[in-house]
Structure formats: structure tokens, C-alpha cells
Structure 1
């Protein structure tokens, strides 16, 4: 796959890395209040990620808070040699996935709900669509992303908006890199279809 358009999202810059390192070391040394620096640094991004997965801001806020609580409880497991955000995002996504599974079980009790069968296409190289996805100002495209099935939606947000690698996205989702490729392929195919339909509608007006 071709290189992704370069962005800074999902990556810790020097200042961010320094803040994370100081805060983590302080928490491990017993300064529990130091964790507040990590919350202040990442709370908005984690909340937005939870909203992207759950599509319910109120519940997303609760899940984001739970994610920070869990991160605090497991701070000793964090490897300071790695970026903090992907580690934090993995915790948040897995909690959000648990919430989605709970929601699905509740829905299945009330209606005959069947999950869509998985396909096995292969992810191709970068396209102009990926450039649009890398631009968070592409409001129309991101509105379409928000309507994708949960797994596709989450993979797209992590890979394109938060600039996480395939490996990091797979770890966050708890799936293989091949599954991430499939999710991204299906998401991009659906977005292309919708963009094409939107374009045709404009031409006929």
C-alpha cells in the first residue's frame, strides 16, 4: 500500500512526548494527581473517538471516562517507548466495542437482527478518496463515514483521522491487520459509491 498522506494526528510530537513521560513517571512514583495531565492532553481526542464508535455523545462521554480510569489502573503496563495515544485509544475502543456488543444483544432480544456477512476483498493502494479522508475539513465525507457500520466506521477513524498504522488499528480493534484491510476496503467502496451518487444527483439538478 502506498504511503498515507502525512498528518500529525495520532502521533505524539516532542512536547507531547515530554509531557506524557513526566506524567507517567510521576504517577508510577505515587503522584496520582499527575494523571490529570494525561487526561487534559488526550480527553478531547478520546471522547471524539468514542463518539465515532458509539454515535451517542452522552454514552461516549461515560466510556471515555471509563477508559481513563482503566488506563490509570493499568499505567504500569504502558510502555513509555511507544506513543501514548494508540495505547489509550486501544483501551477506549475495546470498551466502546463492549458497549456496542451489549447494545446489539439488547437489540436482538427485540427484533430479528442479523449481522452483515463479511467479505474478503484486499485493500488496494491509495486513491483520491484517501486524501479526502485525511482532510478532516471534508465534512461531507466524514458525515458519510459516521453512517458506516460500526467496525468500518471505527477503523476509518483510527486509520485516517487519528493516523494510526494498520498494526495499531488492528490492536485497537482486537483483530488482524488483514481484517483491518478488509474493513477499510469495504468502507472506501461504500464511500465511493455514495460520493458517486451525490455527484450524479448534483448533475441532474
Structure 2
């Protein structure tokens, strides 16, 4: 920054001549309110003081163009910084959503693994019914025909299997009664 004795007076003369028009210009820029416009004018003149050794040698018209260019660049920098902060905030929100999605996924996988472990330990006929209905998405009629049992027996095995899973796995069971209401004859409604 230049430190010659007339620096303050020269900057003051420039400020008095250009600050009002510079403020009006700053107020026309996107996302610039009155307070930001005032700040931009102030930071522009601070930059003028810091670069006065070069700026002071320019004619008044070139000084004016320099001030407008610096103010515009500072406004763009502030806008970019604000965008960067907003994007960082968006990234944080996305990361938080991903963390909650990951947590939900992990808990679902654990519950599903436990459920299939429980199904594997069920009596043979119930295990086959559960597997064919829930994994292969067969209807109770298809399971009954395949296993040579009645559809009522298939539904009974499904209810016993679901009850057993609810006791063992609890609310994380993938085949809960509130979801079970969506199951019709061993198939997901709408399938």
C-alpha cells in the first residue's frame, strides 16, 4: 500500500467524485441490497488505497473504469462465496440424508438377515411356505398346488411364520402385520 503524504487527500477527492455513482451501480447488481452496496463501495475504495501507486497515475476516466471493474469483481466474488457456502450447506444436507439412508439400509439388512435366519429354523413345511410366498412371491394357490396342501394351510403357515418373526425380530421384521395387510394370498398387493 502506498504511504505518500497526499494519499488520504487524493483518495478523498476520488471518493467524493465517484462514490455516489458507484453506490448506484452496486445497487443494480443481482442479489445486492443497500447494505451490501455500501460494503462493496467501501471495499472498492480500500482496494484503491492499496493499489494507489498504480491507480493514482491513471487519468480520471481510467480510475473510474478501474473502480467499477473492481466493484463488479468484488460483487461476483461475494456471490460465488455465498453460492459456495450454500452448496456446502446442500452437501451437508445430502450427506446427512445419505447417512440416514445408510443407517436405514443397514438396519433393514440386519433385520432381513435375522428374519431369514428365523425362517431357516422353522419347521420344514412352514419354511417352504414362507420361502415360496415371500421370496419367490408365489400365490397361496400356487404354493398349495406345489406342496399338495390347502390354501388355508398355506395362510395358516404364513400367519404362524409372521407371528414368530414378530416375536424374534420385533418391529424391524420385514413381514410385520401392518405390512402384512398389504399381502394378499402370499403376494404383495399390486404385484
Establish whether TM, by shorter chain, passes 0.5.
no
Higher relative contact order (CA 8 A, sep 6+): 1
TM-score (norm 2): 0.31
TM-score (norm 1): 0.29
Please state which structure has a larger fraction of its residues in helix: 2
Larger radius of gyration: 2
